[in-house]
Structure formats: C-alpha cells, structure tokens
C-alpha cells in the first residue's frame, strides 16, 4: 500500500492537470483558485486508500476521486454564498473575493467538471459509480436544504440535526470509500460495510468540525472562530446546550441566537461561556465516541487483514484527533 503522502501527491498531480488555463478567464479563475486552496482533500484520499486497501488498481480510481473532490468544492462555493461565510481554508471565499454571480456560475461549471471526471471511470463500472454519485449528490443537496430550513425553524431536535449532517457530510465520506471499493471490485458485502464505516466516521468528523468552529483556533483551522455562532447555526453544541440549560441559560441562548450582527465578538464569547458552563465540549466528544465505536464494530465485519484494518483505524483516529 502507498503512504498517505503518496496518495496526496497523486491527487495533487491530478488537480494540477485539471486547473490548466482556460477561457473565459473570468469563469475558470475562481475554479482554479478554489482547487488550488488545498484543504484536506479527504474525499479523494478515501477513494484511493479504499481502492488500494482492497487490492484495486488505484490508477483507475484517480479520475473518479478527482470528480468527488471537484463536486465537494462545487458545493462549498454555493454553500458559502448561502451561509454568507467570508473565509474558507484561511482564504476569502469566492463570492467575497469576486461576487455571488461568479461563484454561482463557476460552481455550476465545477459540477459539470465533476461528472466529466466520473465519466473516466472503468467502463464496466460506470453504472454502479454513477448510481452512487447521483445518490450522494441529491443527499448532499437535501442536507443543505435542511440546514437552511433550520435557520428559520423555531425549534430543531437533535435527531433532526443528526439527520442533516448525515446527509450533508457523512454520506459523501462513506460514498467516497464506496466508490474506491467498487473500483477495486471487492465483494458486495465489503462495499456496503466500507460505506457504513465511512458514514460513521463522517458523523464523528462533522461533530469534530462543529467543535473546532467554536473552540478551535482560526489560524490553525482556516475558519473564522465562532462562525457558526455568529450565523446563528443550530449545531449539535447549541441544541445540546438548550437541552441541558437552566431556564435562565436557555432564555439567554435563544435571545443571543435571535439577532445577527457581523463580527459580534461579545455574542460569541458569551455563547462559549454558556457552552463551557454546560460541558458541551465533553458532551460532543461523547457522541463522537459513540460514532467511533460504531465504525469500529463495522470494521470488524469487513474481510481485511489486521494490518489493513489498522490503517483504517489510524485514519479514523487522525480525523477525530484521537491520536493526540
């Protein structure tokens, strides 16, 4: 098997081939800007690693892996407009750097580019891969719609929130592994189980992302600290806080989340104080551990050597920052 760095080098080479200069410049410049930002490149990494772990030809997985990465970045271009997010990966978002119209059109083009990459999958596997890709595409959009619904919905349950992040984040991580398994031509059972493994890791990964948005460091994680709080996003942290809060704390939280001011550091600090009073960081990590345990139980059923299972365990640990 290759190392993580070697997978990343393959992905980077594929990205560089994709971002050659094209006309009209105004359309492709934001695309090149977005794909050049880097980021974790997690989804294509999962595709290549999974293909390799099931003894597949990873060269056949490179183009569909790039398609999944391009699709993911397309959704970010549009999400940032909807969320009014100013920073992505430590850089100004596309709509902030240029304008919303260019972000929309460049995003649309990236969606077509993603399909073009998927089209270069092995011909006998095209139907299976497109079936997965189309399912993921719809589910991610459904998740984003639920996320937007929550902005104006007076009350959101924890179950509703978990359904939203499952659709918006977890299915794409699971699906990226599923595509790798399909290309490796492993068994139907292994393909299903590796999807479920990635899905559970994806849930923990998104909860970790929510946690870092509140308690992380902007320079390290490339996002504006407290961005979800400023945007009044009903994340797990907020919903769990409402569940555990006293009547006074609940009233204050709901009042803080009923107004929106840009760069309101006072609001962010007060919400974080309440989160800390209620041990919300610990509560979030407890749920992350539940999804981690679920992923490990799924992994036990997959037909792989102990050495290869250890690679997947290390990956899950790294994503959840458990290695620290």
Chain segment 177-209, per-residue pLDDT in tens? 999 999 999 999 999 999 999 999 999 999 999
Q: Using one digit for the tens of pLDDT, what is the confidence trace for 209-231?
A: 999 999 885 544 455 678 889 88
Coil/strand/helix, residue 323: coil
85 phi/psi in degrees, rounded to 5? -85, 125
* CA 77 – CA 88 distance, rounded (Å): 10
Scan for tokens 């290695």, then name that residue.
323
pTM surpassing 0.75?
yes
Environment class of residue 127 by beta-carbon count within 10 Å: exposed (0-12), middle (13-18) or buried (19+)?
Answer: exposed
Q: What's the token pair of residue 72?
A: 């993911």
More confident residue, 24 or 21: 24
* CA 84 – CA 252 distance, rounded (Å): 24
The set of residues, in sequence order, having a beta carbon less than 8 Å from that of 29 and lying 6+ positions away, is: 98
Report percent pLDDT > 90 for the chain. Answer: 82
Cβ contact 126:260 at 8 Å: no
17-21, 105-109, 114-118: which range is least confident on average? 17-21
Residue 58 region by backbone torsions, left for phi larger than 0, else alpha for psi between -120 and 50, else beta: alpha
The set of residues, in sequence order, having a beta carbon less than 8 Å from that of 272 and lying 6+ positions away, is: 214, 215, 226, 229
108 phi/psi in degrees, rounded to 5? -60, -40
Q: Using one digit for the tens of pLDDT, what is the confidence trace for 35-71?
A: 998 778 999 999 999 999 999 999 999 999 999 999 9
Q: Domains in the chain and their CATH numbers? A: 4-319 (1.10.600.10)
Q: Using one digit for the tens of pLDDT, what is the confidence trace for 110-137?
A: 999 999 999 999 999 999 999 999 999 9
């Amino acid at each position: 098997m290759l190392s993580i760095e070697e997978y990343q080098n393959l992905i980077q080479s594929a990205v560089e081939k994709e971002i050659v200069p094209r006309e009209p410049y105004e359309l492709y410049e934001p695309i090149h800007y977005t794909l050049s930002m880097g980021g974790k490149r997690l989804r294509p990494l999962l595709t290549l690693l999974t293909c390799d772990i099931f003894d597949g030809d990873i060269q056949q997985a490179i183009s569909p892996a790039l398609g999944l990465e391009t699709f993911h970045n397309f959704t970010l271009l549009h999400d940032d407009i909807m969320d009014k997010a100013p920073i992505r990966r430590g850089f100004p978002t596309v709509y902030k750097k240029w304008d919303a119209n260019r972000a929309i059109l460049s995003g649309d083009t990236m969606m077509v580019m993603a399909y073009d990459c998927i089209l270069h999958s092995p011909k006998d596997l095209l139907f299976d891969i497109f079936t997965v890709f189309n399912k993921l595409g719809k589910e991610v959009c459904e998740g984003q719609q639920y996320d937007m619904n929550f902005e104006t919905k007076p009350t959101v349950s924890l179950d509703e929130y978990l359904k939203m992040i499952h659709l918006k984040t977890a299915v794409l991580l699971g699906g990226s592994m599923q595509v790798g398994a399909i290309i490796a031509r492993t068994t139907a059972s292994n393909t299903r189980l590796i999807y479920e493994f990635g899905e559970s890791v994806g849930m923990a990964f998104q909860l970790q992302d929510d946690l870092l948005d509140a308690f992380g460091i902007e320079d390290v994680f490339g996002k504006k600290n407290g961005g979800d709080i400023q945007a009044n996003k009903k994340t797990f942290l907020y919903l769990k806080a409402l569940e555990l809060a006293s009547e006074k704390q609940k009233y204050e939280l709901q009042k803080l989340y009923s107004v929106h001011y840009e760069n309101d550091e006072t609001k962010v600090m007060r919400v974080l104080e309440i989160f800390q009073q209620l041990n919300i960081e610990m509560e979030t990590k407890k749920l992350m551990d539940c999804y981690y345990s679920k992923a490990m139980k799924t992994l036990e059923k997959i037909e792989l050597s102990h050495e290869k299972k250890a690679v997947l365990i290390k990956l899950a640990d790294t994503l959840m920052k458990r290695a620290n």
